Amino acid sequence: MSASAATATDRPEVRLIEIGPEEAGQRIDNFLLRVCKGVPKSHVYQVLRSGQVRVNKGRIAQTYRLIEGDTVRIPPMRMAEPAARTAPAAEFPVLFEDEAMLIINKPAGVAVHGGSGVSHGVIEQLRAARPELRFLELVHRLDRETSGVLMLAKKRSALTALHEQIRLGQLDKRYLTLVKGDWQHRRQHIKLPLFKYTTPEGERRVRVQADGQPSHTVFNLLRKYGEYVLLEAELKTGRTHQIRVHLASSGFPIVGDDKYGDFALNRDLQKRDRQRLAFRRMFLHAYRLRLTHPLTGKPIDIEATLPTQCVDFLQSLEPKAVTATESAIDLSR
Query: Is 143 labeled as catalytic in the residue annotation?
Result: yes
Whether the Cβ atoms of residue 243 and residue 217 lie closer than 8 Å to each other = yes
Q: What is the pLDDT of residues 112-138, one digit of tens each?
A: 988 656 778 899 999 999 999 989 999
Domains annotated for the chain, with CATH where assigned, are 3-74 (3.10.290.10), 169-330 (3.30.2350.10)
Whether the Cβ atoms of residue 148 and residue 133 lie closer than 8 Å to each other = no
Residue of 29, 70, 143, 257 marked catalytic: 143
Which H/E stretch holds residue 173? strand 172-180
Provide the pLDDT confidence category of residue 320 given band limits of 50, 70 and 90: low
230/250 Cα distance (integer angstroms): 16
Identify the pLDDT of residue 222: 97
294/139 Cα distance (integer angstroms): 12
* Average pLDDT score over residue span 294-299: 95
Identify the pLDDT of residue 25: 83
With helix as H, strand as E and coil as C, how does 257-286 read?
Answer: CCCCCCHHHHHHHCCCECCECCCCCCCEEE
pTM score = 0.76
For residue 12, pLDDT over 80 is answered with: no
191/178 Cα distance (integer angstroms): 20
Q: What is the pLDDT of residues 49-93, one digit of tens each?
A: 888 999 999 999 888 999 989 999 999 886 655 444 578 999 999
* Average pLDDT score over residue span 1-30: 70
320/81 Cα distance (integer angstroms): 58
